[in-house]
Structure 1
Amino acid sequence: MTTRSPLAFRPLRFTVPALVGVLLLTGCGAQVDGPAAARKVTVNRCGQPVEYTTPHRAVVYEGGSADKMFALGLTKHVHGYVMPPANPPVTESPWAAEYAKVKFLSDDLLNRELVVEAKADFVVAGWRSGFSDQRGITPAILDGLKIQSFMHTESCFNYPGHPERVTPFEGLYTDLERLGKIFGVEDRARSLVDGYRKRVEAVQAQAPKDEQVPVFLYDSGTDKPFTAGSQVPPNDIIRLSGGRNVFADLDARWTEVTWEAVMKAKPEVIIILDYGDKPAQEKIEFLKDFPATSKLPAVVNDRFFILDYNEGISGPRNLDGLEKFAAYLRELDR
């Protein structure tokens, strides 16, 4: 039976007047000054101009959302985080100390009750990885409840009505710049993005110049494999490292393919997406035992690269994943 990746679906919910959020935050000892509380800026959200008032009680969903806030030095604006089982432990994060300063709200999908109780004034998540029509949690619904929301630009590819197309790494840079504007830390955002671009340039300068290595990302699935199309960070990780995503021609984010297509592609390297409730080693054993994949060049030569979950979803750790995979390809003996 096919196992669906947790990347495919994720919801989100919140509610609370901004003034109440500010008062509660002040009561907890946070420093909130008048001018900052009243500051308003207009920032695009999946192609739609939205006016934001500086948030003070954000709820963030999954590691990518939290990491973006922490990398920008915005810990004091985060009330809490929701971290489903797929996410590796936050103690393994480069921002473990920042996670410890905010509240753990749930290890499940977000829901309206949880957000109301948290008195959130801002929600950070992705479309279909947090927000969802099916689950009744959308930016439009939150707008109606006077709850501000921010969507990962990389996820706007699927957002109805307000399409916005960028490459996944450009989506990361865009998010940092937009969050920087919302919170008034534009200089910090600019510095981060400049640093990330230089790290990418360094990887590209060292990338193999010969024929690109065909690479297949295996997320999950037995009847049909779940993999990365062209619109998610692993595609950029593979491409910028000098490899070739065998499903880069799929104009999609996380998507199902067939085992026949994988066999036809003959990948020489397989990236295993590793997350908490589906360990990488189990997936490797499956690929070695499964008749359709046991004879693939990558499997025969034991060429598996493990990509951490938070290196594969939109967030600052994409750069770590890029550098690690690039080093792996450089050392590959073909």
Structure 2
Amino acid sequence: METDTAAPKQKVKRCGETVEYSVPKRAVAYEAGSADKLFSLGLTEHVHGYVMPPANPPVGESPWAAEYAKVEMLSDDLLNKEIVVQAKADFVVAGWNSGFSPQRGITPEILDGLGIQSFMHAESCFNYPGHPERLAPFDALYTDLERLGQIFRVEDRAAELVADLKRRAEAVRAAAPEGDPVPVFLYDSGTDQPLTAGGQVPPNDIIETAGGRNIFDDLQQRWTQVGWEAVTAAQPEVIMVLDYGDQPAAEKIDFLEKSPHTRDLPAIKKDNIFILDYNEGISGPRNIDGLEKFGEYLRSLDR
């Protein structure tokens, strides 16, 4: 897709801050959510490479596997400044406190000082210091695609993509089972304390749109630790298990079936376990794939 690299700078939001962008030519994406957003907008020619930590399932499983094959895999570790500088990147896409991290010395502010543009997933912006922004997770996905469309001057393509994703999401919402929403517990990881999805991450919107209720939707956080007592008290009828590349869902399910905290839950007794792919659970266009699968799953449940 042709883009106008000689165009004047474009003012676009980066979380709650307005930033001037020129069209990137050597973008680096951290994790598949970032890369998928760029590839789904037809921007492969502007992507130099990607950084993919071990948690991420193989890129060959992506709908954009052919696009991944056209760019460089720069590292299988966490994002850091050295990787970005060595790649001569002019643009980095990541989330706050996931890819970007003050502790690891790579933040938008640091990259600004190096003359490297950056963009953050809006879903991760609600606790960004100085320039927070709070959007519901699906709205954040649509906003990212629109903003990336502005940065790369492919606004029409972005609008078309967003309209299609919204149409698919609304079709799932319209087909949701009648009656009270199904209580759902997302299990990410953890044995002493489970890591789960609060109200600020995509699985919350996947669950709600499909006709369920995230039992921790009242927690205004992203991924967060809770107590097993709270899980037991909520009596979830469905458990959604996040499937990592380096922590298979089968191991997590085995734990849930044996743990005294969870083995007597309705979801375990009825074997109501849904596996959500990692890249359907982090912010990216595959959120809607996960939504469609979970919607079909809920409609098939015998309550």
Q: What amino acid sits opposite 2:256 in the alignment?
A: L
Aligned twin of 2:91:
122
Question: Does residue 101 of the first structure (1) align with residue 70 of the second (2)?
Answer: yes
Partner Cα separation in structure 1 for residue 244 and residue 124 of structure 2 = 20
C-alpha distance after superposition, 1:270-315 (max 9, x if no partner): 0000011100000000000111111011011111000000000000
SS in 2 for 1:202: helix
Aligned twin of 1:201:
170
| TM-superposed deviation, 1:201 | 1.1
2:145 alignment partner, one of 163, 176, 193: 176
Aligned twin of 1:90:
59
Aligned twin of 1:262:
231
| TM-superposed deviation, 1:135 | 1.5
Aligned twin of 1:6:
none
Aligned twin of 1:19:
none
Report the TM-score, using the length of structure 2 for normalisation. 0.98
Q: What amino acid sits opposite 2:164 in the alignment?
A: G
Aligned twin of 2:50:
81
Contact 2:79 2:100 in 1 (8 A): no
| TM-superposed deviation, 1:117 | 1.2
Aligned twin of 1:150:
119
Question: Does residue 288 of the first structure (1) align with residue 288 of the second (2)?
Answer: no
2:13 alignment partner, one of 6, 29, 44: 44
Question: Does residue 239 of the first structure (1) align with residue 239 of the second (2)?
Answer: no
C-alpha distance after superposition, 1:245-283 (max 9, x if no partner): 000011110000000000000000000000111000000
2:154 alignment partner, one of 182, 185, 191: 185
Aligned twin of 1:25:
none
1:113 alignment partner, one of 75, 82, 86: 82
Partner Cα separation in structure 1 for residue 153 and residue 7 of structure 2 = 12
Question: Does residue 71 of the first structure (1) align with residue 40 of the second (2)?
Answer: yes
Aligned twin of 1:13:
none
Partner Cα separation in structure 1 for residue 80 and residue 107 of structure 2 = 11
C-alpha distance after superposition, 1:53-82 (max 9, x if no partner): 110000000000000000000000000000
Question: Does residue 223 of the first structure (1) align with residue 192 of the second (2)?
Answer: yes
Report the TM-score, using the length of structure 1 for normalisation. 0.89
Q: What amino acid sits opposite 1:253 in the alignment?
A: R
Q: What amino acid sits opposite 1:289 in the alignment?
A: K
Aligned twin of 1:333:
302
Identity in percent: 72
Q: What amino acid sits opposite 2:47 in the alignment?
A: V
| TM-superposed deviation, 1:32 | 8.9
Question: Does residue 214 of the first structure (1) align with residue 209 of the second (2)?
Answer: no
**TM-align CA RMSD:** 1.2
Q: What amino acid sits opposite 2:249 in the alignment?
A: A
Q: What amino acid sits opposite 1:201 in the alignment?
A: E
Aligned residue runs from structure 1 range 49-68, under 5 A:
49-68=18-37
2:135 alignment partner, one of 148, 166, 178: 166
Partner Cα separation in structure 2 for residue 257 and residue 234 of structure 1 = 16
Q: What amino acid sits opposite 2:16 in the alignment?
A: G
Aligned twin of 1:273:
242
| TM-superposed deviation, 1:221 | 0.2
2:293 alignment partner, one of 324, 327, 330: 324
| TM-superposed deviation, 1:137 | 1.0
Q: What amino acid sits opposite 2:250 in the alignment?
A: Q
SS in 2 for 1:215: strand
C-alpha distance after superposition, 1:32-59 (max 9, x if no partner): 98x5245310001011000001100000
Distance verdict in 2 for CA 1:209–1:141, change over 3 Å: same
Partner Cα separation in structure 1 for residue 7 and residue 270 of structure 2 = 60
| TM-superposed deviation, 1:116 | 1.4
Aligned twin of 1:4:
none
C-alpha distance after superposition, 1:208-255 (max 9, x if no partner): 120111000000000000000000000000000010000001111000
Structure 2 residue runs of 5 or longer lacking an equivalent are: none
Partner Cα separation in structure 1 for residue 80 and residue 19 of structure 2 = 23
